[in-house]
Chains A and B, each alone.
Chain A
């Protein structure tokens, strides 16, 4: 924006548009644009959110590490470790997600499928981003330095092969997805009844 054009190149914008369209589509088909599904995950009554996340992580991770071994991967996009900030931010995020009933991506997507209250959530998100920008100098000085290990991964930290972790994640994703708890079945049934 400042000192450059406002827009990236059309090719980049088109790629983003395609990815966003598919991402929003998938989130809705997974039921993740629904407040109830997300809050019930935190109440441990419906495990849809964890099942989707674990499967996505396992499938994505296997593909990325295979691609990396084959030399197809242009580069990783690993976020630097800031232990205190990662943990504290995650904890604050969890409170926000339980209250709003959405994370940023699902809340934004949910505006498209009829959630009126999500609109207020997204407005709140903008304010949250603005507040963080103002707090950043302080946060950088006092919090970001604690446990700043750089772009560490589980394999680089432990010295184990990535395939140890990917195998464990794949097994977890499969067993977890196959298990349909009694509560989930009841939950789905109730939501189907409500709809008719």
Chain B
């Protein structure tokens, strides 16, 4: 008997790749949208800042681009909000939910302290989103959605991100270890 694929822990990379490719057809053809993530973080922090000072958000040209005269909670915002739910369901069905506080690779290099890992993750997140907004997108909006449209901007981003990621990871995680 074939095992229910929803209950297998992991799918092959190309099954998942085909899935994301086909999902992109659906978002383009049916919804007239491209998968993306990082703009939502701009909207989220802009909405949050707007609670305290609407005039500040209105005066900032970057926030204004996304929030003035446009609904803040739109297609991509809900998409991003539902991503953890999708991952939760996949993990529950596949029996692969794992509470991870400090990843093994990180602990090898920086020790088991959760506080240190939290600071590292936070700093990484700051760089990640600053870089994404400067480049105009992230791995989903630029690399995947832009890559498949053969956009020059996205392939430049993809190349730069990969080279820099390899250099950084080799420097951080392999320096003292293997």
Interface of B is mostly: helix
How many B residues touch A, CB cutoff 8 Å? 141
Q: Are A105 and B73 in contact (CB under 8 A)?
A: no
Q: Which of A58, A103, A143 contacts B128 (CB 8 A)?
A: A103
Give the A interface residue count (CB, 8 A): 134
Report the Cα distance A29→B8, complex, angstroms.
8
Residues on A with beta carbons closer than 8 Å to the beta carbon of B118: 117, 120
The DSSP consensus for interface residues of chain A is helix
Q: Are A93 and B128 within 8 A (Cβ)?
A: yes
Closest to B46 in A: A133
Note all chain A residues with C-beta closer than 8 A to B159. 87, 90
Q: Which of B8, B106, B129, B173 has the most CB of A within 10 A?
A: B129
B152 near A173: Cβ-Cβ < 8 Å: no
Across-interface contacts of A181 in B (CB, < 8 A): none
Smallest Cβ-Cβ distance to B26: which chain A residue: A19
Q: Which chain A residues (1-36) contact chain B, with CB distance < 8 Å?
A: 1-8, 12-13, 15-36
Mask, B56-80, CB within 8 Å of A = 1, is 0110111110011111111111111
Whether B83 pairs with A108 at a CB distance below 8 angstroms is yes
Minimal beta-carbon separation of B26 from chain A (angstroms) = 7
- B31 in the interface, Cβ–Cβ < 8 Å? yes
- Contact between B126 and A21 (Cβ–Cβ < 8 Å)? no
| Listed residue (B88, B137, B141) with the most chain A CB atoms within 10 angstroms of its CB | B88
Using A26-B20, A53-B147 as known contacts, list a sample of 14 further A-B pairs with CB atoms less than 8 Å apart, ordered by residue number in A.
A24-B87, A27-B16, A27-B83, A72-B29, A74-B29, A93-B127, A98-B165, A104-B41, A108-B84, A112-B84, A120-B121, A121-B122, A151-B151, A162-B150
Residues of A with Cβ closer than 8 Å to B? 1-8, 12-13, 15-36, 39-44, 47-48, 51-61, 63-64, 67, 72-83, 85-118, 120-137, 139-140, 143, 149, 151-155, 157, 162, 165-166, 173, 177, 194
